[in-house]
Amino acid sequence: MTRFPDTIHFTGLNTPVGIEWSARNLEVIGEIPPEIDGAFFRAVPDPAHAPMFEDDIALSGDGMIGKFTIQAGKVDYAIRYVETARYLAERTARRALFGQYRNPFTDDASVAGQDRTVANTTPVWHAGRLFMTKEDGLAYEIDPDTLDTRGRWDFYGALKSETFTAHPRIDPETGEMFFFGYEAGGLCSTDVAYAIADREGNLVSEQWFQQPYCSTIHDFTITQHYAIFPIFPTTADLDRLKAGGPHWAHQQDLESWVGIMPRYGKVEEMRWFKGPRGVSAFHFMNAFEEGELVHLDICLSDTNAFGFMREAGGIQRAQHEIQGGLTRWTFDMSQPGEAFESRVIGPPGDMPRLRDADQGRMYRAGWYLTINPQGGPPLPGGPVGVAFNMLMRIEPGNGRIDALPLGPSMAINEPVHVPAADGEGWLLAVVDQRSGEDSFASELWVIDAGDIARGAVARVPMPLPMRAQVHGTWVSAAELAKAG
Ligand code: V55
Ligand code: FE
């Protein structure tokens, strides 16, 4: 294929951009609070070459890392490809060599056995290092200053897992990074590696356990004493892959599971709780303890949010028919058994954000994105093909919800949170607006995290199109100064 397919994965806000660029001192409308001092890194999948297959998906796009540098009210932007082994091989060949999403049996013979990850999901900052991550491979280290790719990161050769999650969790007090890799021992294996890196970035623990079936473990979370692994019934199958089929198929009739173990304990101490059938959650807001209770707040839906994972499982359901909500699962660790409590604490949505300091602790407020039922048809774009158009702030303790609905033909990407000396701090997010039949203009918005309904306090119009982002991360100037 020499041109991009005319599908949702390559049109709208998913239209490939493919331009590495940088600009300094962008126009700022309004005033950026001077306490916002650091970098907002963004993971943007953007396929450099037209795919081998017409039915390729947005999740396969080569990782680009974007960086807003914000200092003294001034804003710079830069974006570069992550130079993965895959990107470099295809750049040399000037065409796609890797086939279907997470199916190496569909690749060009010339790249057999090569690392397939596109490192396109989350920028991660830990112990003075910046990484780009995707759950199907190891992280790639990035120079936070130049955005040059330094190479695959295996903790000085210590990590045994073949994969590293796009959702590690960092304890705000200890500075440790808790993480995992699934399919750790190879394609479709049920091996899960659970690991800890200390605040200096050294791997101090790696233990493997078996999950009940080979599921996509996209996110996990920690509390002050526990590590929590969700197992939702979207499964992989090696024979299906060998036949050229999709990596994932959602199984509506299969049970979900939650594994909880002491975070410094042994994997043999894992307790398995049995959850509802057919449900799915990609992202967790937070988890925390209240005495012997463990609360887990997740963006739950009654089936998988990705159309291609539903279809592979024979589930015919339109995107707007999916039900769900921000849901609190509560586990009583003092009681035996597999049961737990469930209650909905907020509207449906995804891309939850938290203050870094609240990770694993009781929290006052969190933020996430949703589709405003009154907002008109959502813009096409993003991983599932439908862009969010409303920001929400929720106080789970009392149910208070604030919203920032966007105008028609607008979309909002996942924000990052920037702490402030007083108040709740700031949110930074890229907001897109349709500017023509298939063209879009984007702006960086600065939003008061404690008063989102007020809208942007400052906006930065972007001079070039911005493809839909997945996750982002904020790194303060003080942290950036620790870069090695
Ligand atoms: C997600 C994103 C991915 C992926 C699997 O947001 C799951 C969920 C951007 O890549 O490969
Ligand atoms: Fe994610």
Distance 293 CA to ligand 2 centre (A): 26
Instruction: Work out which ligand 1 atom sits closest to the CA atom of 61.
Output: 9
Helix (H) or strand (E) holding 475: strand 472-476
Rounded-to-integer distance, Cα 123 and Cα 473, Å = 6
Instruction: Work out which ligand 1 atom sits closest to the CA atom of 470.
Output: 9
Band of the pLDDT at 236, cuts 50, 70, 90?
very high
Range of the domain at 321: 8-480
Do 318 and 254 touch, CB atoms closer than 8 A?
Answer: no
Our answer on whether the CB atom of 121 is closer than 6 Å to any ligand 1 atom is yes
Q: Can you spell out the DSSP letters for 379-429?
A: PB-STTSB---EEEEEETTTTEEEEEE--TTEEEPPPEEE--SSSS-EEEE
Distance 58 CA to ligand 1 centre (A): 9
Do 375 and 389 touch, CB atoms closer than 8 A?
Answer: yes
Nearest to 111 by CA among 136, 93, 133: 93
Helix (H) or strand (E) holding 41: strand 38-45
Rounded-to-integer distance, Cα 284 and Cα 366, Å = 11
Our answer on whether the CB atom of 282 is closer than 6 Å to any ligand 1 atom is yes
Q: Indicate whether 386 pLDDT > 80.
A: yes
Rounded-to-integer distance, Cα 267 and Cα 265, Å = 7
Question: What pLDDT was estimated at residue 374?
Answer: 84
Ligand nearest to the CA of 134: 1
Band of the pLDDT at 417, cuts 50, 70, 90?
very high
| CATH number, residue 223 | 2.130.10.10
Q: How far is C-alpha 75 from the geometric centre of its chain's CA atoms?
A: 24
Q: What is the mean pLDDT of residues 16-21?
A: 97
Helix (H) or strand (E) holding 91: helix 85-93
Residue 55: inside a domain: yes
Distance 391 CA to ligand 2 centre (A): 17
Average pLDDT score, the chain: 97
Do 189 and 182 touch, CB atoms closer than 8 A?
Answer: no
Q: Indicate whether 408 pLDDT > 90.
A: no
* Tokens standing for residue 28: 């700022």
Ligand nearest to the CA of 64: 1
What would the pLDDT profile of 24-72 be if each residue is shown by its tens digit? 999 999 999 999 999 999 999 999 999 999 999 999 999 999 999 999 9
Question: What pLDDT was estimated at residue 73?
Answer: 98
How many domains does the structure of the chain reveal?
1
What would the pLDDT profile of 248-282 be if each residue is shown by its tens digit? 999 999 999 999 999 999 999 999 999 999 999 99
Q: What is the mean pLDDT of residues 345-369?
A: 98
Our answer on whether the CB atom of 59 is closer than 6 Å to any ligand 1 atom is yes
Residue 248: inside a domain: yes
Our answer on whether the CB atom of 218 is closer than 6 Å to any ligand 1 atom is yes
Q: Indicate whether 193 pLDDT > 80.
A: yes
**Atom 11 (ligand 1): residue with closest C-alpha?**
59
Helix (H) or strand (E) holding 242: helix 238-242
Ligand nearest to the CA of 62: 1
Question: What pLDDT was estimated at residue 34?
Answer: 96
Q: Indicate whether 343 pLDDT > 90.
A: yes
Distance 219 CA to ligand 2 centre (A): 7
Q: How far is C-alpha 240 from the geometric centre of its chain's CA atoms?
A: 26
Residue 378: inside a domain: yes
Question: What pLDDT was estimated at residue 43?
Answer: 98
Ligand nearest to the CA of 61: 1
Residue 2: inside a domain: no
Distance 383 CA to ligand 1 centre (A): 7
Ligand nearest to the CA of 470: 1
Nearest to 292 by CA among 322, 323, 333, 330: 333
Residue 1: inside a domain: no
Do 156 and 196 touch, CB atoms closer than 8 A?
Answer: no
Band of the pLDDT at 186, cuts 50, 70, 90?
very high
Distance 94 CA to ligand 2 centre (A): 29
Question: What pLDDT was estimated at residue 146?
Answer: 98
**Atom 3 (ligand 1): residue with closest C-alpha?**
59
Distance 63 CA to ligand 2 centre (A): 14
Distance 121 CA to ligand 1 centre (A): 6
Do 197 and 165 touch, CB atoms closer than 8 A?
Answer: no
Q: Indicate whether 1 pLDDT > 80.
A: no
**Atom 10 (ligand 1): residue with closest C-alpha?**
59
What would the pLDDT profile of 366-376 be if each residue is shown by its tens digit? 999 999 988 88
Ligand 1 pocket check: which of 59, 216, 308, 351 to mutate, most ligand atoms within 8 Å of Cβ? Answer: 59
**Atom 8 (ligand 1): residue with closest C-alpha?**
282
Rounded-to-integer distance, Cα 227 and Cα 220, Å = 8
Distance 457 CA to ligand 1 centre (A): 31
**Atom 5 (ligand 1): residue with closest C-alpha?**
59
Q: What is the mean pLDDT of residues 138-157?
A: 98
Our answer on whether the CB atom of 304 is closer than 6 Å to any ligand 1 atom is no
Band of the pLDDT at 438, cuts 50, 70, 90?
confident
Question: What pLDDT was estimated at residue 102?
Answer: 98
Tell me, yes or no, if the pTM score tops 0.95. Answer: yes
